[in-house]
Amino acid sequence: MTQGDRQVRSGPGRLLVAVYGVFALAATSRAGVQIATKFAEAPLAYLLSAFAGIVYIVLTVALARNNRRLALVACAIELAGVLIVGTLSLVDSQAFPDATVWSGFGSGYGFVPLVLPVFGLIWLLRRRPAS
């Protein structure tokens, strides 16, 4: 295999960069608006929203710069985040009056936030560098 075949950003990886880029923008701006205008209503939810945005930004940059290790870590955090926040939002809906990207396992975004890290992990793990 050539060097290019080992890159995590080309081929299907480019699709991931595009989708993560959109989510980075969407989640970060949503959290920004929420924190700026009504932070006191649900501080926990809005902080998690911002955290999700940061994770998406890190993933977009890591993938785009071919940083496979960082992308793997961020992807694992993303999967853990969507599972934990998804569960919490169902158990304690009072703490999450306003939806975040990850609440309800990403139901407000067509469950893409739940599916995305799975595809991301599969893609990254299949691109293990030749030892």
Partner 1 sequence: MTAAYSGWIIAAALLLALAGIVTAVRDKSMGVVLLAGLALLEVALLVQAGIALAGLDHVRNKATFIGYLAGTLVIPPAAVWWGMAERTRWGPGVIAVAGFTVAVMTGRLMQIWNGAA
- Positions 37 through 96 that interact with partner 1 (CB under 8 A): none
Site membership for partner 1, residue 14 (CB under 8 A): yes
CB of 65 to partner 1, least distance (A): 15
CB of 36 to partner 1, least distance (A): 8
**Contact region with partner 1 (CB under 8 A), list: 5-13, 80-88, 89-97, 120-128:** 5-13
Q: Name the CA radius of gyration of the chain, rounded.
A: 16
CB of 106 to partner 1, least distance (A): 14
**Contact region with partner 1 (CB under 8 A), list: 18-26, 49-57, 80-88, 120-128:** 18-26
Site membership for partner 1, residue 97 (CB under 8 A): no
Distance CA 54, CA 49 (A): 9
SS3 assignment for 31-70: HHHHHHHHHHHCHHHHHHHHHHHHHHHHHHHHHHCCCHHH
Q: What is the DSSP letter of 10?
A: S
